[in-house]
């Protein structure tokens, strides 16, 4: 802008392009912060479920090991489901001898549950020797 005296005066303000670039940067930052929040929330929910059922899985394996230690041979597969914190957990325990003398047994426990659209799982495997009665 020119004054009557011939001195130029600077016009203060932002151009439309600068405002659009700042808005886009702010929007991108907001989206990234929300995405990080939802990823961390999803991870927290998974590990909450995991910690709730990990001790149950360990106890189930220990029960099967105790039977083998008491001399009760196990073979086959058993399974079922239970509810914890309004979620349905399905489990399967496979047990069978690994050697010809039927003394060394493999125990495989699988747990699965659904969170949202995802199917999640937890597995435990161990070996135990069948004790003589």
Q: Is residue 3 part of a domain?
A: no
Q: Does residue 125 form part of some domain?
A: yes
Question: Is 31 a member of any domain?
Answer: yes
Q: What is the pLDDT of residues 67-111, one digit of tens each?
A: 888 888 777 888 999 988 888 999 999 998 887 777 888 999 999
Does the residue 71 lie in any domain?
A: yes
Q: What is the DSSP string of the chain?
A: -B-TTS-B-PPPS--HHHHHHHHHHHHHHHHHHHHHHHHHHHHHHHHHHHHHHHHHHHHHHHHHHHHHHTT----EEEEEEEEETTEEEEEEEEEEE-STTS-EEEEEEEEEEEETTEEEEEEEEEEEEPPP-
Checking if the pLDDT of 4 tops 70, the result is no
- What does the pLDDT average to over 27-54? 92
What percent of the chain stands above pLDDT 70? 90
Domain that holds residue 64: 16-129
Q: Model's pTM, two decimal places?
A: 0.66
What CATH number should be reported for the domain holding residue 103?
A: 3.30.1300
The tally of domains found in the chain comes to 1
pLDDT-based confidence at residue 34 (cuts at 50, 70, 90): very high
Give a yes or no: residue 74 inside a domain. yes
Q: Does residue 60 belong to any structural domain of this protein?
A: yes
């Amino acid at each position: 802008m020119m004054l009557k005296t011939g001195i130029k005066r600077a016009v203060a303000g932002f151009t439309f392009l600068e405002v659009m670039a700042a808005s886009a940067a702010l929007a991108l930052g907001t989206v990234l912060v929300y995405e990080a929040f939802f990823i961390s929330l999803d991870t927290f929910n998974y590990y909450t479920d995991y910690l709730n059922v990990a001790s149950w899985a360990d106890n189930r394996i220990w029960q099967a090991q105790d039977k083998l230690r008491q001399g009760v041979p196990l073979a086959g597969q058993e399974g079922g489901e239970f509810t914890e914190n309004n979620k349905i957990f399905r489990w399967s325990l496979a047990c069978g001898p690994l050697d010809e003398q039927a003394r060394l047994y493999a125990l495989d426990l699988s747990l699965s549950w659904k969170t949202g659209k995802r199917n999640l799982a937890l597995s435990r495997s161990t070996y135990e020797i069948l004790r003589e009665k």
